[in-house]
Amino acid sequence: MTRSRANTRPAQKKLKILVLGGTGFIGPHQVQHAVDRGHTITLFNRGKTNADLFPKLEKVFGDRTLPTAYDSLKGRQWDIVIDNGAQVPSWVREAGAALNNSASKYVFVSTLSTYVNRRAIGIQENGEQHKPAAPDATQQNAQYGPLKVRCEMEARAAWGDRALILRPGLIVGPGDLTDRFSYWPVRIERGGEVLAPGTPDDPVAFVDVRDLTEFSVRACENNLTGDYNCVGPKSTLTIAEMLYGIKAVTTSDARFTWVHADFVAEKRLRPYTDLPVWMPPRGDNAGWARMDCSKAINAGLTFRALADTAKATLDYYHQQPPERQATLKAGLAPEKEKETLAAWRASGQK
Amino acid sequence: MSLNRRTFLKSSALVGGALGLGGFPSLAHSAPALNDDGVDAAALVEHPHPQKKLSILILGGTGFIGPNQVRYALDRGHDVTLFNRGQTNPGLFPKVKKLIGDRNAADGHKALRGKKFDVVIDNPTTLPQWVKGAGEALKGNVGHYLFVSTISVFSSYPSPLDENGPLHEPGDMNVAPDQARVGNNYGRLKVRSEMEAKTQFGENVTIVRPGLIVGPGDLTDRFSYWPIRIEQGGEILAPGSPNDPTQYVDARDLSEWIVRLAETKTLGTFNATGPKSPTNMAELLYGIKAVTTSNAKFTWVDAEFLAANQVRAWSEMPVWVAPRGGNAFMLQTNCGKAWAAGLTFRPLALTAKDTLDWYHTRPAAEQEKAAAGIAPDKEKTVLAAWNTRKVGGAK
């Protein structure tokens, strides 16, 4: 059985880490874990997002959209630079130019969306990637996957074999602003008839932000380089196991009505966004939830129990202001769910 | 992330996390804690403390459900006295008053004579003579008698039974102690004991009929089998269909409610199992899996195949019976009356997690010798037979 809380002892060697970003979703978890492990952290960002986080850490301000972005970091030395937030190739390129003499290693958080498709079961790190976006592409003129492919190329160009590239799948848990997993705990807690997508045995995959960030720090400590797929859990989890597992942390009266993938498509409900986490396991997405992450697992990626993720996500959600709680950014609106369930029943399918 | 979590937990229906009761330390090799702030699970549903403190006599009180009642009653300010043989867990509750007696012995209840109590909770009775003995010793000195019976008083389960379901023929008032569990004597003697309770205590009787009682402290392993087996991982024989109904009640939910029944002097008869919304085997097994990081994979083997391969429901496949014939609704008992009277339920994740934590504190020899559940070799053999059969296209 996998131990879920692997790093409880302080690190052997204390590292000096420069974190670019660090105040969004994964950053705070990562920074906190690195601090807990005894590392010295410098945060570099605009000073705008969650500005009062980590009052005791050194903060250096800079705007990565400006040519002067990294001036404030000149002449400094770190062991490692972690880049959480870059989606634009120029950011990675410019950070590399400015910093590759200031640190011996660069950690780039990329994505599984760099793969051109997920048709195959068990895609490894050498799987075929999208054609890279142009070097000066931005979110305005290029897709997420191709942008990240180009970012990875820029990282390798600047850092060579000193780059560590993490490719997470869906990142979930406390602090998530996209609600792409949170929809389920929140919906299940509300109870009643819940539209469950596809068939109970459809596999799902995601990674708890805490597992991912703990691994990123562990990877720094262990001096990992190269590319790593990062999604879990370790063994196949079905969507029925996920939904019932989430239900187990509540006392909700939720009951699930499974609506077939074809009907979902017919009703133009989007997998993953309207019906979060789930992707019908067929066509280009046949291997969506079955990426091969054994390389990362062998290198120290561990996974919390689902109940822990579900509970922590619900706790976080309930701590948000009422207006935030009222508007989930993913999942079916209640009326839409009701309407779809009624149509499903009327169709006579089972 | 700074909102006071205690405030939050009190107003929500979520897992409370670390066990608030002493004596069951978490072990490093068990599943991870659901949270780390030690909030007592009882905070899940808030039950305001009572105005009036009661003197409560607990018969037994040192077995499975008793200790939960004692802790909860003490926590709520009641005055607790235990009556038992002084043989089971005698070191529990050193500060609680104890009366000693053997309920099988002639005049075994004499230590109770002349004592006065607001309430008696009778946990361990399997023989009607015990009720009679307690009643005669306490005659006129007790305001309320709370008897823990069983859902096994019903003779069959052809529909979702409420408290008026068909009962077994009452057992023999004078049955020998060594016959208490022979055949269907357990249910029949509980029927007779329920009758004797009314004979002895008249109107002032509450009868609680739990279903399968589960959770930390269970020595029968009837629920524990599943968390332990699932934690081990691999291919797991799952009984029947994922949609087969199941019911169980966490010993703590049951025990705490019984104390609250005493506080409110709620009389009458109650079926007492859960959870509140109908649940099925998939929900149970997948929910348990969620508190582990196991690679468990479930293979559902239908009831006919299990029967044909001599796999026994309930004992070898715990918490499950094939929902057909006289057992069609055994695990769909109607407990609406108890729910209306305040029986609440912990989340399954908490029951599963605490059961695992507790199990791992047991001596190694006990852990190796599970009292329920199919033997590992037999599970393997049956799965192999089933999987071969499926490949052959028979299913």
**Residue B16's CB: how many other CB atoms inside 10 A?**
26
Distance between CA B249 and CA A147 in Å, rounded? 53
Task: Indicate the SS3 state at residue B258.
Answer: helix
SS (H, E, C) B98-130: EEECCCCCCCCCHHHCCCCEEEEEECCCCCHHH
Tally the C-alpha atoms within 13 A of residue A217's C-alpha that lie toward its C-beta: 34
pLDDT at res. A41: 97
Q: Does A4 touch chain B (CB under 8 A)?
A: yes
Cβ contact, residue pair A1, B294, below 8 Å:
yes
Please name each of the domains of chain A with its CATH number. 16-173+207-233 (3.40.50.720), 183-205+235-284+306-346 (3.90.25)
Query: Which residues in chain A have their CB less than 8 angstroms from residue B278's CB?
Result: 255
Q: Does A47 touch chain B (CB under 8 A)?
A: no
Looking at the partner chain, which of A252, A308, A316 has a beta carbon nearest the beta carbon of B34? A308
ipTM of the complex: 0.92
Within chain B, which residues score under 50 in pLDDT? 1-43, 394-395
Cβ contact, residue pair A189, B14, below 8 Å:
yes
Give 10-residue mean pLDDT values along chain A (350 residues).
48 93 92 96 92 93 90 94 92 95 97 96 98 97 97 97 98 95 97 97 98 98 97 96 98 96 97 97 95 97 98 96 93 97 94
Q: Does A79 touch chain B (CB under 8 A)?
A: no
Is-contact B157 B330, C-beta < 8 A?
yes
Best residue in B229, B285, B293 for a mutation probing chain A (most A CBs within 10 Å)? B293
- Residues with Cβ within 8 Å of residue A56, at least 6 apart in sequence: none
pLDDT at res. B169: 97
Cβ contact, residue pair A1, B5, below 8 Å:
no
Distance between CA A294 and CA A296 in Å, rounded? 5
Query: Which residues in chain A have their CB less than 8 angstroms from residue B279's CB?
Result: none
pTM: 0.91
Residue B43 Cα, gap to closest chain A Cα (Å)? 13
| Cβ within 8 Å of B, A 124-163 | none
C-alpha pair distances (Å), A105 with each of A15, A16, A82, A234, A338: 11, 11, 8, 28, 51
**Residue B369's CB: how many other CB atoms inside 10 A?**
8
Find, among B300, B251, B307, the residue nearest to B274 by Cα.
B251
Q: Does A250 touch chain B (CB under 8 A)?
A: yes
C-alpha pair distances (Å), B364 with each of A11, B214, B228: 33, 21, 13
pLDDT at res. A204: 98
Vertex B32, ends B28 and B33: CA angle to 5°? 105
Cβ contact, residue pair A319, B3, below 8 Å:
yes
pLDDT at res. B40: 37
Looking at the partner chain, which of A235, A244, A310 has a beta carbon nearest the beta carbon of B283? A244
Q: Does A318 touch chain B (CB under 8 A)?
A: yes
pLDDT at res. B370: 81
| Cβ within 8 Å of B, A 193-232 | 200
Element (H, E) at B198: helix B185-201
Find, among B78, B164, B169, the residue nearest to B121 by Cα.
B78
Cβ contact, residue pair B29, A236, below 8 Å:
no
Distance between CA A104 and CA A112 in Å, rounded? 25
